[in-house]
Amino acid sequence: MLDRPLNTLGLPKAPADTRVVVAMSGGVDSSVVAAMLAAEGYDVVGITLQLYDHGAALAKKGACCAGRDIHDARRVAETMGFPHYVLDYENVFRDAVIDEFADAYLAGATPVPCIRCNERVKFKDLMATARDLDADCMATGHYIQRKVGRAPELHQATDAARDQSYFLFSTTPEQLSYLRFPLGHLASKAETRALVAKYGLPVADKPDSQDICFVPDGNYAAVIEKLRPGAADPGEIVDIGGTVLGAHRGVIHYTVGQRKGLGIGGLGEPLYVLRLDPAARRVVVGPKAALSTRTVPLREINWLGDEPFASRAEWHVMARVRSTRPPREAVLRPLSPNEAEVELLAPEEGVSPGQACVFYAREGSRVLGGGWIWRGR
């Protein structure tokens, strides 16, 4: 008996017999994924998560999972003729993402809540819901590729400008076996927009989602003050030697690498935030050269390589320490199954605890995992 041919999602079933849960934010990308799969004849079920009290963000263009977006996701489902459900995940999102975001900021870190949302909500709880619905897989609108080698592999998107691998480094091998990313191979956003027109979707004029969904105007400090009243204690701005240069209104108003808005002008060379010391309520500043870092301690390692992480003393990789920066050559040294040290061959500026460091193969597009930057032991 011949094996059944694989469908476009890599499963040995006819599309009509393949149930796919599509995580729909209400934006262009996930709408296109849902429409494309429905048009190919798959048994599509759209699910939108209501993640936060969207009163403040309701009118913000580019927010994700707000009231307007839920409405738009429903309209797409009606247009393409598949069922759509809205799940209230506000409590889960607050506990798993927002609270940690606030606590990390108060501890002087610079968190990336979008990664935690993918890791703890979308790729955990939503995936469990998809399995409960007897779905064969779950599809999202992320720009990243899943390729099958010895096992499913994570790869950067074809369009480097759209690549979201930095935000998806914590995807586990088990999750990767169940996930599908139908847009990862597209060469440009124009191709996505062309598909919107092809399917006549009512999201054609929507902007791309921007920034953190629960921070309506990009003012992180205001959100922290609302979540943790009274936490923004004033303190001193000091240089590396401890000399007091000025005063600040709370460490939550500063990030590592910041130069503008310090209120300590007229001191000669420009000064930058080098580190935050919340316990002493101090902002430490210094020259730009002091921002450079070559050794980066990591924890919560997620390894996606073929060989066990601890099977080598060193891995020669490309490492990305900010979503906006290209990967750079680095040496990755495992310290334990969950901790590591990355040595950057060329120093990077403004590396901050709370950010992610993502590993890539030296050749090709494969994502090898990553970890969270911390202060180390």
Task: Assess whether pLDDT exceeds 70 at residue 291.
Answer: yes
The pLDDT-based confidence of 268 (bands split at 50, 70, 90) is confident
pLDDT of residue 188: 92
The whole-model pTM stands at 0.89
The strand pairing partners of 94, in sequence order, are none
For residues 18 and 11, the answer to whether their CB atoms sit within 8 Å is yes
Cα–Cα distance between 278 and 109 in angstroms, integer? 10
* pLDDT tens for each residue of 306-346: 999 999 999 999 999 999 899 999 999 999 999 999 999 99
Cα–Cα distance between 160 and 324 in angstroms, integer? 11
Options 65, 117, 137, 357, the catalytic residue: 117
C-alpha separations of 242 from 18, 245, 247, 283 in Å = 64, 9, 13, 10
Stretch (H or E) spanning 360: strand 356-360
Of the candidates 211, 204, 212, which has an alpha carbon nearest to the alpha carbon of residue 72?
A: 204
* pLDDT tens for each residue of 24-77: 998 899 999 999 999 999 999 999 998 876 444 434 445 555 678 899 999 999
Long-range contacts of 91-96, Cβ-Cβ distance < 8 Å, separation of 24 or more: 92/121, 92/125, 93/49, 93/51, 93/52, 93/117, 93/121, 94/52, 96/120, 96/121
Options 64, 65, 114, 213, the catalytic residue: 213
pLDDT of residue 223: 85
State the average pLDDT over residues 221-225: 84
The strand pairing partners of 367, in sequence order, are 154, 360
State the average pLDDT over residues 87-100: 91
Which phi-psi region, left, alpha or beta, contains residue 313 (left: φ > 0; alpha: ψ -120 to 50)?
A: alpha
Domains, the chain: 15-199 (3.40.50.620), 232-286 (2.30.30.280), 293-373 (2.40.30.10)
Cα–Cα distance between 15 and 253 in angstroms, integer? 51
- CA terminus-to-terminus distance, the chain: 59
β-pairing verdict for 84-88 and 43-50: parallel
Q: For residue 137, indicate whether it is catalytic.
A: no
Q: For residue 213, indicate whether it is catalytic.
A: yes
* pLDDT tens for each residue of 177-203: 999 999 999 999 899 999 999 999 988
C-alpha separations of 200 from 35, 42, 190, 195 in Å = 9, 18, 15, 8
